């Protein structure tokens, strides 16, 4: 061991992140991977062994050195991107604002579409934060960078993501035509509004458009001198479908209160309390170190 050259020297208080997997004999399907962080209490030499994927154990030897078995070390300047790199997949893309404001369309570069084996007009399933997902139609955009996906504000809100966040995309070829859907307006967008919401807003919006929709989604429709926001309350089949010419659209019922929607937007999800976001690890370095040591002892 002593003859091996160190990968680099970790100075005191250097923070590093590692991916933990269960020890042999424990079902990986039942115990998912977790991320922890540690801080070096003194300068140590770092030795790297195996693949930069799984950290199984850590030992201390003399002279002081940390031995990573199948582990990966990250310098402080790399910490902000460490997690994205370790979980990097072709279908995980950075969110960028859409050029064309369409509630049902996302855009990718042609190269990325080829890589993911997607074709123009395919229906795709998008997954964002807080276990939110929606369905959209994918189109190619030659001006879109290969690592990004373009979507409008409506889609971003449904996925609970902002510009620069990461979403995943996958083909969704089994979306069926809807038998019926139920949508209701948001109360503050229909105050003082008279007339038929179906004739003025919903019918023109869905007419011959074959729009995919997902239960729980919000969408904004412009018409009649103002914009009205609707929520998809139910779909048949559930949880998503394509609104075809034969789909029955129900819009009867009391408008949904804005306050109720704001509460759902502020729900706490795994991204708020878990995961391995750099800012959380940096704030809880000491506690994470304790948790990591316990994990080693249990293994």
Q: Quick: pLDDT tens for 249-265.
A: 999 999 999 998 877 66
Q: How far apart are CA 276 and CA 82, in angstroms?
A: 9
Global pTM value: 0.62
Provide the 3-class DSSP secondary structure of residue 109.
Answer: coil
| pLDDT tens sequence across 8-37 | 444 444 444 444 333 333 333 333 333 344
CB 226 within 8 A of CB 155: no
Burial class (CB in 10 A: 0-12, 13-18, 19+), 298: exposed
pLDDT of residue 77: 40
Q: What is the pLDDT of residues 53-68, one digit of tens each?
A: 333 334 443 344 444 4
Measured CA to CA, the distance from residue 101 to residue 44 in angstroms comes to: 53
- In angstroms, rounded to a whole number, what is the distance separating the alpha carbons of residues 167 and 293? 32
**What pLDDT score was predicted for residue 195?**
86
Between vectors from CA 34 to CA 61 and to CA 157, what angle results, nearest 5°?
145
- Domains of the chain listed by start with CATH number: 8-80+276-298 (no CATH), 92-174 (2.40.40.20), 180-256 (3.10.330.10)
For residues 129 and 156, give the distance between their C-alpha atoms in angstroms, rounded to a whole number.
Answer: 10
Q: At residue 108, does pLDDT exceed 50?
A: yes
């Amino acid at each position: 061991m002593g003859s091996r050259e160190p990968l680099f020297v970790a100075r005191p208080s250097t923070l590093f992140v590692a991916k933990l997997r269960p020890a042999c004999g424990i079902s990986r399907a039942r115990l998912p991977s977790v991320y922890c962080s540690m801080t070096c209490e003194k300068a140590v030499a770092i030795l790297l062994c195996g693949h930069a994927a799984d950290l199984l154990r850590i030992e201390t030897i003399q002279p002081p050195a940390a031995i990573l078995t199948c582990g990966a070390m990250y310098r402080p300047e790399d910490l902000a991107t460490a997690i994205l790199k370790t979980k990097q997949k072709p279908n995980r893309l950075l969110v960028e604002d859409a050029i064309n404001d369409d509630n049902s369309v996302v855009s990718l570069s042609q190269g990325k579409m080829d890589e993911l084996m997607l074709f123009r007009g395919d229906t795709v399933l998008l997954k964002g934060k807080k276990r939110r997902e929606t369905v959209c139609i994918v189109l190619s955009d030659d001006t879109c960078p290969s690592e990004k996906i373009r979507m409008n504000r409506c889609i971003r809100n449904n996925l609970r993501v902002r510009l620069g966040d990461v979403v995943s995309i996958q083909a969704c070829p089994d979306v069926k035509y809807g038998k019926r859907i139920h949508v209701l307006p948001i109360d503050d967008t229909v105050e003082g509004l008279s007339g038929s919401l179906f004739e003025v807003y919903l019918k023109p919006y869905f007419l011959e458009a074959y729009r995919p929709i997902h239960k729980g989604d919000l969408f904004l429709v412009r018409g009649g001198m103002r914009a009205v926001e609707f929520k998809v309350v139910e779909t048949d089949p559930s949880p998503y479908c394509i609104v075809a010419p034969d789909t029955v659209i129900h819009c009867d019922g009391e408008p949904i209160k804005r306050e109720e929607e704001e509460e759902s937007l502020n729900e706490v999800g795994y991204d708020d309390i878990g995961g391995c976001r750099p800012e959380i690890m940096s704030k809880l370095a000491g506690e994470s170190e304790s948790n990591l040591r316990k994990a080693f002892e249990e293994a």
